[in-house]
Structure 1
Amino acid sequence: GIVVNYFFNSGISADEKQQTRLSNAYTNFQYSVLNQLVLEGVYSIYTNKEKYILQGSIGYKKFYERYWTFSEDTVGNNNFRGINYKHIYLRGKLIQNLKNQIFVGVTYSYNRFNNITFQEGVYPQIPKAAGLGESMSLGIGPTVVIDKRDNQFSPQKGWFAEVGYRIHDKNIGSNFNYSQLNIDLRNYIVTKPKGILALNIITVFNSGTVPFLEKAKLGNDKIMRGYFAGRFRDDQFAAAQMEYRYPIGKIFILAGFLSAGQTAPNVSAFALNTMQSSIGGGLRYLVNKQKHLYVRFDAGYTQKQNWGFYLNLGDAF
């Protein structure tokens, strides 16, 4: 695959650049020997003097993923059914800085899944869910962001909070009626002598008829590291993680992390005895001192006794 990243500051004058945090846009092209294809463009932009934040992605995937069960921990790691599909998507947010890095605006999402096919097999059974053959959803709603971080890619201090609510409705063109509430909270604490303790809570709460491939998934390169994406999936998701980052010399950072979370069919089904957890660590290498950019390698190990390995630009959160 090929990824082309461009980091830039949208400030016009030297003084305005000091008031504007780093932005990023990238294109991603991937093709695999299994005939999988990913074409996408992604952007996260602070405009001049941070009057607005523009974030979003647009893309096409001819992809494969795995289905085990929903939230029931009833199958082994190798008891999954493969899913092939085509996916066109457009997602984003446009938010305005009202005052003191408090941003308010709109979030939107368009997803179309076609040619959804489950691989042959006996177990697990094909799930009973909406949108198994194809699905299209269109949603829009308000979002509020408070962004006190010093850097959106590898934060050293500050905090971040986002609450977004999106309605998907047949009256605006969606094939399904459902609403989604997203919450993302982050805090970065400087510790003595020179470490950083990073904390994060993420929740996704759905209400209504959520199409199968848009249900919340547990596991990715940012939270619940180690779990294969979709190892558990359902209408509700909640997870928390902590990561300690300690610099070694001038260009390396050692990190250790711990996370816990779960999916559930409804909020009342969340329970401590069904919580999933993972632990891991990694190394960050400074590739651009001026822009404070790190390459991140992480290894996560889960209570399901499997590993996940990740190589990315920027911290997980």
Structure 2
Amino acid sequence: MIKYLIAFFIVLFGNQTFVQAQSNVDGNNPCLPKTVFELFKKKDSILIVKPVKNNFLLVIPIIGVNPATGFSYGATAQYTFKGKELTDKYSSANLGVTLTTQKQLLINVKNNILLKNNRIYLRGDYRLYIFTQPNYGLGTNIIPTNRENPDFSIESIEEPMDYNYFKFHQSASWEIRNNFYVGGGVEIDWYSTINDKNLDIQNGIFTHHYNYSKQNGFNENEYFVNGLSVNFIYDSRDNQINTRKGWFANINYRFNGDLFNDQRASNVLNTEVRYFLPMDPRREQFVLGFWALGQFVTKGVVPYLNLPAIGWDQRSRSGEGYTQGLFRGNNLAYMQAELRFPITCNQLLSGTVFTNFITTSNNDDHVHLFQYVQPAVGVGLRLLIDKATRTNLVFDYAVGNHSKGFYLNAGETF
């Protein structure tokens, strides 16, 4: 609520992009309302805006609730910018520091940067977590349907765990044809000080993490996954901050070496596709978006915590309706469809309805991909903070199978 109020007053009194409006050539009424209530009465209009900068810095407090973290507080900064050429696309860099009631410290740095008139594409994901998160087992069959067990509780299968996590993923790609990029990257994951709280070897109480680690030759207290990747990117989106049309596709193939003790060589394929279809040329905010993720261990084995899992994409947005890491497996497929629509004619408020589907596999129990699929549905509210970059504050509520969650973020889900 605090973040909502801060953003609301920033928009009403500090954002110059809402200052001017005039009738369109057909003689329609101006869109600029005299009162807040008129926001919901006006329909078609053209906004005439003042010249805007090519950059925008958003710094907001983080006060929210997330199933994976509980109540969280901190701050996040997002810097959005572009070059001086008209054809330059917006880039973004994010820094967030969060403390949670689950005794977690989360430091996140993300970058999606286009340089040299969009000819160089940088993508990065750095994290330093002092973390606590339960494990639940592998495969999407760990949760029964409501028909099979209406009284099921996800807490009944939790296996609490504390650990520290350092992540450094950075890639650089070069444009070889219009919107098509090829490059490579460095990917480092380090899990340390792992405390598997339910594990009691003396009394014969074992966990999914311990059993998997012993079976595959990993140290259950600490492990590294270090590798190099090859990247292929296609990006024709009009704006990566808040897309209204275009495609984004990324194929990342990672080669992990066995450089240290207890490391195992492996190959992992990561794929991502986003597509945005305008639904009404007169109202640009009417957009139907699709988002698909695929993560596949194609060779060797990776440690338990590095297995494909929901909510561990670059911006930790996949799987709304379920807690982060709930579904994990040797392979993962995810799809989300989202309808975005305007609520007010000046674009201050907009909304979304969405649904997503998750499936993961478990090789040990012969659970195959798509054998069990877990769905979720949700609704969202968007509050516009910067008109030029189309940056929104995001409020989403989603319901899954025996699960639900409320999410507050800066920037679109995908």
- TM-score, normalising length: structure 2: 0.71
- Secondary structure of the corresponding residue to residue 129 of structure 1: helix
Distance 1:173 1:8, change over 3 A: farther
Q: CA deviation at 1:198?
A: 0.4
For 1:121 and 1:160, how far apart are their aligned partners in 2?
Answer: 43
Q: Report the equivalent of 2:46.
A: none
User: CA–CA distance in 2 between the matches of 1:143 and 1:244?
Assistant: 29
Q: Which residue number corresponds to residue 122 of structure 2?
A: 54
Aligned 1:273-312 pairs, distance under 5 A = 274-303=372-401, 305-312=402-409
Return closer, same or farther for 1:208/1:85 CA change in 2, 3 Å cut-off: same
Alpha-carbon distance in structure 1 between the residues aligned to 2:377 and 2:356 = 6
Residue number in structure 2 paired with 1:23:
91
Counterpart CA distance in 2 for 1:32 and 1:286 is 26
**Counterpart code for 1:280:** G
- Greater strand share, structure number: 1
Match of 1:259 among 311, 336, 356: 356
Q: Is the 8 A contact 1:138 1:173 kept in 2?
A: no
Q: Which structure has more RCO (C-alpha within 8 Å, separation ≥ 6)?
A: 2
Check whether the contact 1:93–1:107 (CA below 8 A) recurs between aligned residues.
Answer: yes
Selected match of 1:212 from 292, 304, 308: 304
Q: Which runs of 5+ in 1 are unaligned?
A: none
Where do 1:67-78 residues align within 5 Å? 67-71=135-139, 73-74=141-142, 76-78=153-155
Matches within 5 A, 1:61-210: 61-71=129-139, 73-74=141-142, 76-79=153-156, 80-120=158-198, 125-127=206-208, 128-130=211-213, 131=218, 132-170=220-258, 175-192=263-280, 194=283, 195-206=286-297, 207-210=299-302
Asked if 1:241 corresponds to 2:333, the answer is: no
Q: CA deviation at 1:269?
A: 4.0
Structure 1 Cα separation of the partners of residues 384 and 353 of structure 2 = 17
- State the Cα distance separating 1:224 from its structure 2 match: 2.1
Question: Which amino acid is 1:48 matched to?
Answer: K
Single out whichever of 306-315 and 173-182 deviates more from structure 2.
173-182
Structure number with bigger Rg = 2
Deviation at 1:35, TM superposition (A): 3.3
Q: Deviations over 1:210-258 (max 9, x none)?
A: 1011011124652221111111211100011110011112211110001
| Contact residue 134 and residue 161 of structure 2 kept, 8 A | yes
Q: C-alpha separation between the residues in 1 aligned to 2:323 and 2:189?
A: 22
TM-score normalised according to structure 1 size: 0.91
List structure 1 segments (4+ residues) > 6 angstroms apart after TM superposition: 121-124
Q: Indicate yes or no: 2:104 matched with 1:6.
A: no
2:327 to 232, 242, 245: 232
1:40 aligns to what?
Answer: 108
Structure-2 separation of matches of 1:124 and 1:160: 46
Work out the CA distance in 1 between the residues paired with 2:192 and 2:199: 21
Q: Between Structure 1 and Structure 2, how many residues are aligned?
A: 311
* Corresponding residue SS for 2:320: coil
Retained in 1: the 8 A contact 2:378–2:398?
A: yes
List per-residue Cα deviations over 1:38-61 (Å, max 9, x = no partner).
223222111130110111132321
